[in-house]
Structure 1
């Protein structure tokens, strides 16, 4: 009896731990994927989710299934909630909706992505959500080719997961397991080959600050029918070929931008700064609204674009001055680095550009208006990339540089005097380079009033000289990416030095540590 009680208590503790830590548990996640020789694909997924706490209600009460309006169609096979007493509750008809993503209103040229949503009924701790859906790729992204990735593991515990892949027997594919070792059950029938994987009791991935992306840690399967990255490069070259051609409007604008600039390097820098600071970045991942970029002219007229539109306009404007630019497909640090053995377009979530300068690749990311020419955001550094030669329809696998630590500096230089009354006077200079300059420009650009700016400077100075009040200060022209980033201000702190009997007391200068 005592053993039984202890077992029950242990079970209850485990349930409570799951509830407080994860909010939900995936009881079943069964995926069936059927691929066709022409590139069409069917994805059928069945899920059962046990809700353990209010966090689980918040996370899974609204089911969201993204799909491409142009390339795919979605069908809900079933959806219902199982109550603790076994009764089932089905969603009302108006609980099923196809909605536009939130960015649609501010960027109407992006119309490909849709969300199929299901508002699940009677969701509370203790219920089980059951639903299944089918997504058909009816218009292949790449003719006669397919690829897919299935995640067995996530930040939630998974009790049972399966993945069944069916491909034509005469189609060569690459299939690769990540972070687990288990051979699939393989069957051949009716001109097709089936691969079946089954996993049990998959632990959740614990989220931690500055951790690698979940996709890099998770147990997953990747499949591709592509045999080389040149196939990806040729495909994207066809999509981008017309878009990167400058029309008269792009040519006229480019000539205005470079007016008075001497030398090619100064002209390139002027074009970079123009695109970075005049084309509003709509932060969509590569491929989320389709892969075909809009024409350079339309991006210039609309004055906004996603990453591939930024790269397209930059390349078109560079072409006007006789500089060849290259689209660069890149997985940023928020996603797994590309596996050079598994060519797929979905290896990337971002696009930048590159030029050849003095025989070396120079990477250009204009999606951030705080990163100067010749530098890269931290998220772009140390990543494998596919550089696309649109003209010759071929690609190059390269790796972006990692800038040395000494190029990222946050420093202060002070000159101070203390009078006989213990009052401190002098001046303080803050210098920023690299990622610290990027951050400082971004923060200052976000302020809407001089008061906000002053408050920020006071907090910065107080981290060095406690109790200091800012009266005057000078900030470099942080909106000019060609200028260095600094803040200069005269300093004055009353009674900074004070005498206690035979001891002089003062506050030491503090050193500020910056975290991600």
Structure 2
């Protein structure tokens, strides 16, 4: 890569003599009710001069009611590149790369730095600065739009500066009117805590540079007010320079881990700086992440530094178990509910299922995760009174009722596919998903209560196979959640059909859904008959684009202990191509494709959130006077953790097709990509193969 000294600074030659850029930082209000946004230029005993984007306005002091002054930020007085006195910014824009070296990129990150200061008192200061250059229209939003999330009761945020430098040398500053703060969960005041700060740079131009700096200051960090950050070092864009500096005051509980760190990348440097120990990571010329189909979550492959501030997992367990006791205020109604729910149930497994079903059916789910509100559960009496709860409070309610029923259960926090979990960096922000571990005599059952569509024992796809921390008796035990067998995450489909001599097809599809696949059909219990009809018409069109829905029926979608089923009766006019002696058609209801395998090789693994099994059986009654002339060959592809088989049979006047696709693992490394390709190609070939019937 070559760097060039043909600077954006040179553009000032073309820009000299151009007018000033006026921000909308200040607001002037007149006694006539008018409002002007711009900048105050001068105020005297008689007049006020106010600059707007269009003109310079003169007011008498009597005409002005008030002036609101916007925040002055470092460098706000710069109007052109010649005014810049920030040495770092001048250095960065003075040696920018040749855009030809990054052809096809939307933008490039010229400089990115995070500086963290960890205090002994639990305070944390985080400053982030990023300088980028835009290459295309597609890169503008990424460098112009910024968001900061925080908890306003323990954190405060500040935009230190935000500006863009146009290709002609102008320096354009953030307008206060482009800043917005607000809650992200205002729709539910009981869980309204996390806040967002959003701002947008104006007039970001192709070829221009953006420079932003932000600060977040946290006043305290505790086991249940955790702090953890995950700094990714590769991005969707090239990065010329990225660094992380962490200053840790002596005695502060700081933990870190280098994750997915390439062997040829520089390791951290450490030095003493007064009462602080300073850790520094610096990497330059980082290539972009090239997107691929079916990519794993970033935490699974991207080089990053994981840090946490706080005690070990045992201390976190102690604090959390105390919070459970404090939240259980022993409302009398809880005992009454338990007695009613488990009446007639003898075995612990039956009692657990009854309590689980009651909680997910009776307590409305509030989609505000604990990580966006609090890791301390609300009072049990409040949850029962309100009849709604988020994931943590729903889980706590189940936990409290289960203990009243004599069920041995532990509270668990699980990581998910998007999170990084490591024993060396303990924090509930690395395991944000509350789960219950039910300890039966001969088995362990897991309960995750964020959905009314999953039966007891079915974990969400996002946490399958992930690590989790189990709290028991003030101790934390690290375990790994089970990865179910493919047939626990299965869809079975059977089509019984008949085709006549005119090529018309009519048939019945019957489907059964297991595990998380049940949500796509159980959700219909909350919609109208008209909406169900429209959805079933769409489902029929997946069998064939010209399929007409005759009848549909949904069974067992209310009771979680039963397997939900779907039945569709359909017909398709002119399904087969016809000649005087032949009927030619493809199998109905198969829609396999080669999507995701177009590349000859991969850099990243192929990723799925869960195991899966798909089973089809298609029985087609042949028209009288016809026999099977051609059917595809049987096929079998089998390798480590993935297999596909397809079989054709003819019995009397019936064509019978069956296939079975099974995928056991979540991740297929690049070296297994050819096996995955073979499986997809074989499936697609079966789906597109022709069956030929010949008149006898």
Flag whether TM exceeds 0.5 (same fold). Answer: yes
Query: Which residue does the alignment assign to 1:104?
Result: 186
1:434 aligns with 2:521: no
1:265 aligns with 2:361: no
Query: Which residue does the alignment assign to 1:18?
Result: 105
Higher alpha-carbon deviation: 115-124 or 487-496: 487-496
Question: 1:140-179 counterparts in 2 under 5 A?
Answer: 140-142=221-223, 147-171=228-252, 173-178=254-259, 179=261
Query: Which residue does the alignment assign to 1:354?
Result: 437
Higher alpha-carbon deviation: 340-349 or 27-36: 340-349
Structure 1 residues 420 and 121: alpha-carbon distance in aligned structure 2, compared to 1, 3 A threshold = closer
Structure 1 residues 51 and 451: alpha-carbon distance in aligned structure 2, compared to 1, 3 A threshold = same
Q: CA deviation at 1:384?
A: 0.7
1:251-308: CA deviations, max 9, x gaps?
Answer: 3334444455554433321221122233333333442223222223323333333221
In structure 2, which of residues 347, 357, 361 is the aligned counterpart of residue 277 of structure 1? 361
Q: CA deviation at 1:89?
A: 2.0
Structure 1 residues 209 and 312: alpha-carbon distance in aligned structure 2, compared to 1, 3 A threshold = farther
Query: Which residue does the alignment assign to 2:306?
Result: 222
Q: CA deviation at 1:68?
A: 1.2
CA distance in 1 between partners of 2:246 and 2:506 (Å): 73
- Show structure 2 runs of 5+ residues with no match: 5-96, 596-607, 609-696
Question: TM-score, normalising length from structure 2?
Answer: 0.65
Higher alpha-carbon deviation: 377-386 or 209-218: 209-218
CA distance in 2 between partners of 1:63 and 1:255 (Å): 52
Query: Which residue does the alignment assign to 2:152?
Result: 69
In structure 2, which of residues 311, 325, 332 is the aligned counterpart of residue 241 of structure 1? 325
CA distance in 1 between partners of 2:245 and 2:380 (Å): 42
1:76-98: CA deviations, max 9, x gaps?
Answer: 22222222222222223333342
1:136 aligns with 2:136: no
Q: CA deviation at 1:330?
A: 1.0
Question: TM-score, normalising length from structure 1?
Answer: 0.86
Q: Give the length in aligned residue pairs.
A: 497
Structure 1 residues 489 and 340: alpha-carbon distance in aligned structure 2, compared to 1, 3 A threshold = same
Question: 1:105-504 counterparts in 2 under 5 A?
Answer: 105=187, 107-142=188-223, 147-171=228-252, 173-178=254-259, 179-180=261-262, 181-224=265-308, 228-244=312-328, 246-259=330-343, 261=345, 263-336=347-420, 338-389=421-472, 392-417=473-498, 427-442=508-523, 444-445=524-525, 448-464=527-543, 467-490=546-569, 492=571, 500-504=579-583
- Show structure 1 runs of 5+ residues with no match: 5-9
Are 2:191 and 2:368, in contact at CA under 8 Å, matched by a contact in 1?
A: no
Structure 1 residues 505 and 247: alpha-carbon distance in aligned structure 2, compared to 1, 3 A threshold = same
1:367-389: CA deviations, max 9, x gaps?
Answer: 01111112222222111101122
Are 1:81 and 1:88, in contact at CA under 8 Å, matched by a contact in 2?
A: yes
Are 2:226 and 2:427, in contact at CA under 8 Å, matched by a contact in 1?
A: no
Q: Which structure carries more relative contact order (alpha carbon 8 Å, separation 6+)?
A: 1
Are 1:177 and 1:222, in contact at CA under 8 Å, matched by a contact in 2?
A: yes
Larger radius of gyration: 2
CA distance in 2 between partners of 1:445 and 1:11 (Å): 59
Q: CA deviation at 1:493?
A: 5.1
CA distance in 2 between partners of 1:325 and 1:67 (Å): 33
Higher alpha-carbon deviation: 359-368 or 408-417: 408-417
Higher alpha-carbon deviation: 257-266 or 368-377: 257-266
Are 1:245 and 1:316, in contact at CA under 8 Å, matched by a contact in 2?
A: no
Q: CA RMSD in A?
A: 3.1
